[in-house]
C-alpha cells in the first residue's frame, strides 16, 4: 500500500518545466502556450484510452488520476497543501508557477508540497478513490479545492501575471476531467457550469487599463452567449437527477445574471430565493452577505443594511463586507458613514483592481 503511494509521488509530472531551471521565466507567450498544449495533450492521450472503457471501470481501480485527485485533496491535509499538491501532481504546474499564481515565494510552496507528501506517507493516507459511503464528503473537498483555485485565478484574470489568469482555465479543465471520470455526480457538473458562466463574462470584467468593470456596467453583448447556453443546459440536465447541492445553486444564481438582458431587468427575487436555498447548504456569513445584496435589490437598503450589520462580528476583517455596507449606506444618503466604510474596505483589500475601484468611489463622494 505505502509503496504504491511512494511510487505515485515519484512519478509526478516533471516535464512541465524547461531543462534549464528558471528558463521558463524568459519564455514567450507562444512557448508558454505550446507547453500548455503539450501538458494537456498528455492527459487527453490518457483520456482517450478511457473513452472506450465502461463507466464502472473508470470509477474503479483503473484510473490513477482519480486516485491522485482524491489523495491530493484528502481532508487530513490542510487546504493550502491540497491546492498546491493538486496543481503540482494533477495539473503538472511547477512549484515556481504555483508560487507566482498564488503571489507567494517558491520556497513556501516547495516546503508545503514536501510536508504534504511526507504526511501522505507517514500518516498512511490511502491512495484510492473513496468508497461510496465517504464519497459525498470527499468529493466536497475536491470541489472546494477546484473552486478555490478557480477563484484565485478568476479575480486576477485581468491582472499582469498570465500564470494567475491561466489558473482559472486549469481549474476549469480539471473540473471537466472530473465530470468525465465521475459522470453521475451532480455537484461536479454544477461546479463546471458555474465556472463556465463566470468565464463567459471574463472578457468584459476589466477595462483596457486593467480596472474592474462591475457587473452592472459590463457590455453584455460581449459575453460568450454560446457558453452561457451550454452552461444553462448543463444546469437543466443535472436538475433532473434530483440531487441539488450548493454548486448547482450557485450556478443557477450565475445563470440568472447571465440571462438578464440588462442590470435593471435582473430577476433579483429569483436570485434571493436561490440564496435562501444556498444558505440551507452553506449557512456562512459570506453567503448571508451575498444574500443581503439580493435583498437590497428586492426590498431596499433598510432591511439589507440591518442584515449586514448583524454580520459585523464575523466579517469585520473582510473588505467586501465594508464595501457592501458602504453601498447600502450611500443608497440611504448616509454619505459620511459610507465613506468610512469604504475607507475600511480599502485598508483590507489586497487585489490592485479592487483597490482602484474603492479609491475611485472614495474620490467621487
| Nearest CB to other proteins, comparing residues 126 and 352 | 126
Shortest approach of other proteins to residue 123 CB, angstroms? Answer: 5
Pick between residue 134 and residue 276 the one whose CB is nearest to other proteins.
Answer: 134
Q: Return residues touching other proteins (CB under 8 A).
A: 1, 74, 76, 122-126, 130, 134
Supply 166's cell numbers.
491561466
How many angstroms separate the CA atoms of 24 and 32, rounded? Answer: 8
C-beta neighbour count of 208 within 10 angstroms: 6
Cell numbers of 338, please?
Answer: 459610507
Residue from 291, 287, 191 nearest 245 by CA: 191
User: Measured from the CB of residue 124, what is the shortest distance to other proteins in angstroms?
Assistant: 4
**Looking at the DSSP assignment, which residues form a beta bridge with residue 206?**
212
Q: Within 13 Å, how many C-alpha atoms sit on residue 181's CB side?
A: 25
Closest to other proteins by CB, 124 vs 183, is 124
Q: Residue 90: name the closest of 192, 3, 12 by CA.
A: 12
358 in Cβ contact with 345 (< 8 Å)? yes
Q: Which is nearer to other proteins, 55 or 124 (CB)?
A: 124
Which CB, 141 or 327, lies closer to other proteins?
Answer: 141
Residues in the chain: 365
Q: Which among 188, 193, 273, 265 has a CA at the least distance from the CA of 232?
A: 193
3-state class (DSSP) for residue 185: coil
Minimum CB separation from other proteins for residue 119, in Å?
9
Task: Provide the minimum distance between the beta carbon of 75 and other proteins in the complex, in angstroms, as a whole number.
Answer: 8
Q: How far is the CB of 125 from other proteins (least distance, A)?
A: 5
Nearer to other proteins, 129 or 177 (CB): 129
Largest CA distance in the chain: 66
Among candidates 189, 191, 219, 184, which has minimal Cα distance to 204? Answer: 219
For residues 138 and 77, give the distance between their C-alpha atoms in angstroms, rounded to a whole number. Answer: 12
Closest distance to other proteins from the beta carbon of 126 (Å): 4
Least distance between other proteins and beta carbon 11 (Å): 20
Taking the CA atoms of the chain, what radius of gyration do you get in angstroms? Answer: 22
Amino acid at each position: 500500500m505505502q509503496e504504491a503511494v511512494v511510487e505515485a509521488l515519484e512519478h509526478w509530472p516533471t516535464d512541465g518545466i524547461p531543462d534549464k531551471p528558471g528558463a521558463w521565466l524568459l519564455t514567450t507567450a507562444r512557448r508558454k502556450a505550446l507547453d500548455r498544449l503539450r501538458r494537456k495533450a498528455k492527459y487527453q492521450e490518457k483520456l482517450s484510452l478511457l473513452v472506450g472503457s465502461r463507466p464502472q471501470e473508470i470509477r474503479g481501480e483503473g484510473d490513477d488520476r482519480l486516485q491522485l485527485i482524491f489523495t491530493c485533496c484528502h481532508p487530513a491535509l490542510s487546504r493550502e497543501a491540497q491546492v498546491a499538491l493538486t496543481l503540482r501532481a494533477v495539473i503538472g504546474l511547477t512549484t515556481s508557477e504555483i508560487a507566482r499564481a498564488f503571489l507567494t515565494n517558491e520556497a513556501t510552496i516547495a516546503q508545503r508540497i514536501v510536508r504534504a507528501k511526507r504526511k501522505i506517507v507517514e500518516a498512511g493516507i490511502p491512495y484510492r478513490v473513496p468508497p461510496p459511503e465517504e464519497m459525498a464528503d470527499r468529493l466536497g473537498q475536491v470541489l472546494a479545492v477546484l473552486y478555490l483555485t478557480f477563484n484565485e485565478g478568476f479575480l486576477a484574470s485581468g491582472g499582469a501575471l498570465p500564470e494567475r489568469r491561466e489558473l482559472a482555465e486549469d481549474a476549469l479543465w480539471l473540473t471537466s476531467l472530473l465530470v468525465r471520470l465521475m459522470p453521475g455526480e451532480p455537484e461536479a457538473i454544477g461546479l463546471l457550469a458555474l465556472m463556465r458562466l463566470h468565464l463567459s463574462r471574463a472578457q468584459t470584467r476589466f477595462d483596457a487599463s486593467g480596472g474592474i468593470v462591475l457587473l452592472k456596467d459590463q457590455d453584455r453583448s460581449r459575453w460568450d452567449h454560446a457558453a452561457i447556453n451550454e452552461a444553462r443546459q448543463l444546469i437543466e440536465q443535472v436538475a433532473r437527477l434530483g440531487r441539488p447541492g450548493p454548486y448547482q445553486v450557485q450556478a443557477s444564481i450565475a445563470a440568472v445574471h447571465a440571462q438578464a438582458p440588462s442590470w435593471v431587468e435582473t430577476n433579483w427575487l429569483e436570485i434571493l430565493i436561490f440564496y435562501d436555498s444556498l444558505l440551507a447548504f452553506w449557512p456562512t456569513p459570506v453567503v448571508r452577505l451575498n444574500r443581503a445584496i439580493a435583498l437590497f435589490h428586492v426590498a431596499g437598503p433598510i432591511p439589507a443594511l440591518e442584515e449586514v450589520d448583524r454580520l459585523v462580528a464575523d466579517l469585520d476583517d473582510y473588505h467586501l463586507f465594508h464595501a457592501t455596507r458602504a453601498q447600502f449606506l450611500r443608497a440611504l444618503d448616509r454619505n459620511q458613514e459610507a465613506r468610512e466604510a469604504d475607507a475600511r474596505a480599502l485598508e483590507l483589500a489586497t487585489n490592485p483592481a479592487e483597490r482602484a475601484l474603492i479609491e475611485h468611489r472614495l474620490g467621487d463622494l
